[in-house]
Chains A and B, each alone.
Chain A
């Protein structure tokens, strides 16, 4: 089975620009999550989709971040306009149920650098 795929793997953009990260979950996984790790800090929750609906977006830092999940398949996370503090590694994960039994399957992440 193919894993969770994220791209790009790396992105370097200037402050004020827009960046869109994409995540393709494992086929059939209704639950999709975005997490972020800022340098030196722990991995932190951003939001959770069940199919195409946002179940919990309590971790989204501000309205410069917009997540969508088209038709309950792939998801995008757009940052507009990007700020220096948005730099970090953005992870996507998916699961069949709520993740309680088997945790999540994570992608390899997108390393975002805002200069």
Chain B
């Protein structure tokens, strides 16, 4: 596709429910990032993949958050036992090169998660 796509665009979950957010990066992009954006704030880094390898997960807020990219393309961010503080926009970004390359990151439209 022409850009990064994410689904669903909106998700309402009841507290305690598990959710899965999908990201389709730009075809051929090696690097994939997940960010979390709280209301009125700038995005904050969650985790980074180079192909299928998760090389940095220092931003994941708790062990309820889990991300994977098994075939080096599509990625899924899973949140288990959602809490109200998980409500945010989850943004996915991709860039062409791997770790060490300084390049433009292209962002998807985000998934807006509301936990009731």
Asked if A pairs with B, the answer is: no
Query: Taking beta carbons and an 8 Å cutoff, which residues of B are in contact with A?
Result: none
Query: Taking beta carbons and an 8 Å cutoff, which residues of A are in contact with B?
Result: none
